[in-house]
């Protein structure tokens, strides 16, 4: 009896040439047929952005046994939409895997993350989806510590699936990983976000930067605490954003 191998769609927001996505491909290639559709260059901070006002183009750059790699001019979200509606010819992936992102996507960063844009788009299409990130922006960071954890998580998600409208945001510390911890999204906010870079006397030019303020640093349930204590942090993310608990009170306003 021939066993059908899982179809694994891979994308990211650092572009198809990043070390993170290439290490991810090598880690999960033994688990199934891998199709990569990723941006042609870095799209950090894309969130769930889509390309509304320009055509999007994709191109096959590598074809091997059970591995195809396409690059795409669009956003991470566009890559998933293109895969599902054109590139995969109607085949539905068993799992969508994004990353490994060079940079932390824990806490409220999930909103800005193109890595998680991929995952949210997969989830909105009913496909179990997982984003992986490491707490380092170094383009040559060593991902070796993450390999056994990534393989374990992807295998379990292929086997068990995920609840409706739920996906996973997985972040790793850039050090020895002592285990995995299921977490909630840490609460906090960014400060000192803009670094001046004046140009020809115009003071109104700025680089985005910033410092994250964790308002519950001692809360051992949250993903930042887990990362600071050596754990890989797995945060289950829901794509229904409704605050159901406020509906009744708000209804009384009108």
Cβ nearer to its own copies, comparing 15 with 65: 15
Q: Of 78, 93, 94, 105, which one interacts with its own copies (CB under 8 A)?
A: 78
Contact region with its own copies (CB under 8 A), list: 20-28, 32-40, 51-59, 91-99: 51-59
Is residue 202 a contact residue for its own copies (CB under 8 A)?
yes
Tell me the C-alpha distance between 173 and 176, whole Å: 8
Cβ nearer to its own copies, comparing 5 with 137: 137
Give the interface size with its own copies as a residue count (CB under 8 A): 78
Nearest one of 237, 80, 81 to 163, comparing CA atoms: 237
Interface residues for its own copies in 166-195 (CB under 8 A)?
Answer: 166, 179-180, 182-185, 187, 189-194
Tell me the C-alpha distance between 29 and 37, whole Å: 15
Is residue 138 a contact residue for its own copies (CB under 8 A)?
no
Buried b (16+ CB within 10 A) or exposed e, 193-224: eeeeeeeeeeeeeeeeeeebebeeeeeeebbb
Interface residues for its own copies in 86-105 (CB under 8 A)?
Answer: 86
Residues 6+ apart with CB under 8 A from 222: 107, 183, 184, 185, 186, 187, 214, 216
Cβ nearer to its own copies, comparing 5 with 213: 213
- Peptide bond preceding 100: is omega within 30 degrees of 0, i.e. cis? yes
Is residue 163 a contact residue for its own copies (CB under 8 A)?
yes
Contact region with its own copies (CB under 8 A), list: 31-39, 91-99, 114-122, 140-148: 114-122
Is residue 200 a contact residue for its own copies (CB under 8 A)?
no
């Amino acid at each position: 009896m021939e066993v059908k191998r899982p179809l694994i769609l891979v994308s990211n927001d650092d572009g198809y040439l990043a070390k993170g996505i290439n290490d991810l491909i090598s880690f999960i290639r033994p688990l199934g047929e891998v199709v990569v559709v990723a941006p042609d260059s870095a799209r950090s901070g894309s969130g769930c952005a889509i390309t509304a006002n320009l055509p999007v183009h994709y191109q096959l750059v590598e074809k091997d046994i059970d591995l195809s790699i396409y690059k795409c001019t669009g956003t991470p979200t566009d890559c998933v939409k293109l895969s599902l509606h054109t590139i995969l010819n109607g085949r539905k992936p068993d799992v969508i895997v994004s990353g490994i992102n060079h940079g932390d996507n824990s806490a409220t960063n999930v909103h800005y993350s193109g890595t998680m844009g991929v995952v949210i788009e997969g989830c909105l299409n009913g496909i179990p989806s997982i984003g992986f990130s490491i707490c380092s922006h170094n383009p040559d960071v060593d991902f070796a510590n993450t390999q056994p954890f990534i393989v374990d998580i992807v295998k379990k998600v292929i086997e068990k699936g995920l609840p409706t409208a739920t996906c996973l945001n997985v972040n790793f510390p850039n050090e020895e990983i002592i285990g995995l911890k299921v977490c909630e999204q840490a609460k906090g906010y960014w400060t000192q976000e803009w670094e001046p870079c004046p140009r020809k006397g115009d003071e109104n030019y700025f680089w985005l930067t910033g410092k994250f303020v964790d308002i519950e640093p001692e809360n051992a349930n949250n993903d930042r605490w887990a990362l600071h204590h050596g754990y890989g942090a797995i945060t289950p993310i829901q794509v229904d954003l409704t605050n159901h608990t406020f509906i009744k009170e708000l209804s009384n306003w009108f």
